[in-house]
């Protein structure tokens, strides 16, 4: 960014920065834009510790230099493919593997195709030639990728390789000396690709706090509506099933029945404020009728449960069904589309675990 410095509200020009800091520049002082009282008449106002414009500009340049790490967005390697056939085959294979396509180009001088991946790396080697192809693709299910590549090579419409060629051009999956497994495919002269998977399951994964699906030793509350009991009872059984399977004792589950979905937020808020439960599971069902009653109730129920969770700090699992018909509700209560009560309970267990870990992390940080 030529001619720009890092201002308090982002990159801006020198003139903009001085205006933000109320520093007269050029003819601005003559126009009367910067008025001063009697004590400061004729004096420029600089930040503390600075006496002139030069010091100020230098400090801003240092600030811009200090933030250069945040300017790196990604990395792209450009590989030249010698033949049109190799270019077409490589693009076809990457599409078969599910690469996201970027913006390509085509003009009188040649063609280009871009393929995007979640992560990119640039590895430099000196002292010896690399033992692997220059183009490496890291994957998570190497055998499945191998199967896709082999099928692509056998397909006359894509790879169009003969069976005897595949034996030579496609190597078997083999272990490497760098704690991984690898196979290579030779698509054209000078165009070899390697696909590899690390033996370390945590390799490349971002460090994150994740919840455990263990409910042992934790107390949970379930608020369930009696209205449409044929549905809500199924949701309740699903939630209890999830809790018991995850190790929650029967005495550690508190069930509160309310008349309908409208009353769920109030009971959930009372339970959350008591601080005696690790999470609250809310279960109910709303069926659309011929009036606006459905929308009004659903909006307030969702808002009330969300506010209770945010203001009390106790996780609330949302298991209130909103369906067009009774048949849809039955499907989501265990017939065809899984049991949403079970899913809500699983979410509550995981969130309770996350809350516990975050609290421990906060205490450790202090």
Which tens digits make up the pLDDT trace of 113-160? 999 888 888 888 888 888 889 899 999 889 999 999 999 999 988 888
Residue 177 known to be catalytic: no
Classify strands 115-116 and 10-13 as parallel, antiparallel or unpaired.
unpaired
Integer CA distances (angstroms), 334 to 239, 240, 287, 337, 344, in order: 11, 13, 17, 6, 13
Both tokens assigned to 319: 């298991």
Residue 263's CB is within 10 A of a number of other CB atoms, namely 19
Q: Please tell me whether the overall predicted TM-score, pTM, comes out greater than 0.75 for this model.
A: no
Quote the pLDDT of residue 130: 84
Of the candidates 197, 239, 202, the one whose C-alpha atom is nearest the C-alpha of residue 222 is 239
- The catalytically annotated residue of 44, 177, 244, 293 is 293
Query: Are the beta carbons of 352 and 315 closer than 8 angstroms?
Result: yes
Q: Which of 244, 186, 197, 185 is nearest to 220 (CA)?
A: 244
Give, for 7, the enclosing helix (H) or strand (E): strand 4-7
Please report the pLDDT score of residue 53 as a whole number.
Answer: 61
Beta strands 191-198 and 135-138 are: parallel
State the average pLDDT for the chain.
Answer: 82
Per residue in 11-57, pLDDT (tens digit) is 444 444 444 444 444 444 444 444 444 455 555 555 555 556 666 55
DSSP annotation of 333: B
Token match 């099928």: residue? 151
Residue 178 pLDDT: 86
Burial of 8 (0-12, 13-18, 19+ CB in 10 A): exposed
With a cut of 70, list the residues of the chain below it in pLDDT: 1-70, 202, 204-206, 290-291, 364-366
Is the separation of the CB atoms in 97 and 116 below 8 Å?
no
- Using DSSP's 3-state secondary structure scheme, residue 98 falls into coil
């Amino acid at each position: 960014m030529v001619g720009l410095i890092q201002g308090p509200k982002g990159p801006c020009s020198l003139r903009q920065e001085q205006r933000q800091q109320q520093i007269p520049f050029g003819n601005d002082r003559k126009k009367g834009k910067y008025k001063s009282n009697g004590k400061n008449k004729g004096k420029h106002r600089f930040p503390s510790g600075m006496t002139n414009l030069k010091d100020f500009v230098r400090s801003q340049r240092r600030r811009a230099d200090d933030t250069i790490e945040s300017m790196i967005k990604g990395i792209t390697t450009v590989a030249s493919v010698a033949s049109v056939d190799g270019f077409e085959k490589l693009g076809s294979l990457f599409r078969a593997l599910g690469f996201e396509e970027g913006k390509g180009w085509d003009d009188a001088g040649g063609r280009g195709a871009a393929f995007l991946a979640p992560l990119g790396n640039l590895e430099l080697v000196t002292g010896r030639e690399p033992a692997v192809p220059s183009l490496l693709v890291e994957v998570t299910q190497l055998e499945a990728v191998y199967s896709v590549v082999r099928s692509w090579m056998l397909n006359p419409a894509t790879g169009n390789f003969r069976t005897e060629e595949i034996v030579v051009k496609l190597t078997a999956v083999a272990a490497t000396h760098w704690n991984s497994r690898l196979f290579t495919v030779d698509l054209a002269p000078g165009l070899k690709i390697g696909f590899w998977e690390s033996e370390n399951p945590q390799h490349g994964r971002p460090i994150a706090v994740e919840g455990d699906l263990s409910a042992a030793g934790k107390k949970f509350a379930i608020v369930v509506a009696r209205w449409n009991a044929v549905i809500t009872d199924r949701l309740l059984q699903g939630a209890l099933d999830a809790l018991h399977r995850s190790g929650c004792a029967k005495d550690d589950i508190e069930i509160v029945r309310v008349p309908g979905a409208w009353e769920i937020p109030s009971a959930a808020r009372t339970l959350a404020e008591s601080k005696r439960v690790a999470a609250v599971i809310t279960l109910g069902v709303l069926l659309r009728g011929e009036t606006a009653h459905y929308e009004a109730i659903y909006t307030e129920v969702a808002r009330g449960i969300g506010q209770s969770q945010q203001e009390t700090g106790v996780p609330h699992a949302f298991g209130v069904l909103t369906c067009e018909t009774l048949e849809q509700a039955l499907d989501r209560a265990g017939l065809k589309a899984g049991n949403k009560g079970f899913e809500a309970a699983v979410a509550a267990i995981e969130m309770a675990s996350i809350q516990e870990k975050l609290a421990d992390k906060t205490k450790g940080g202090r």
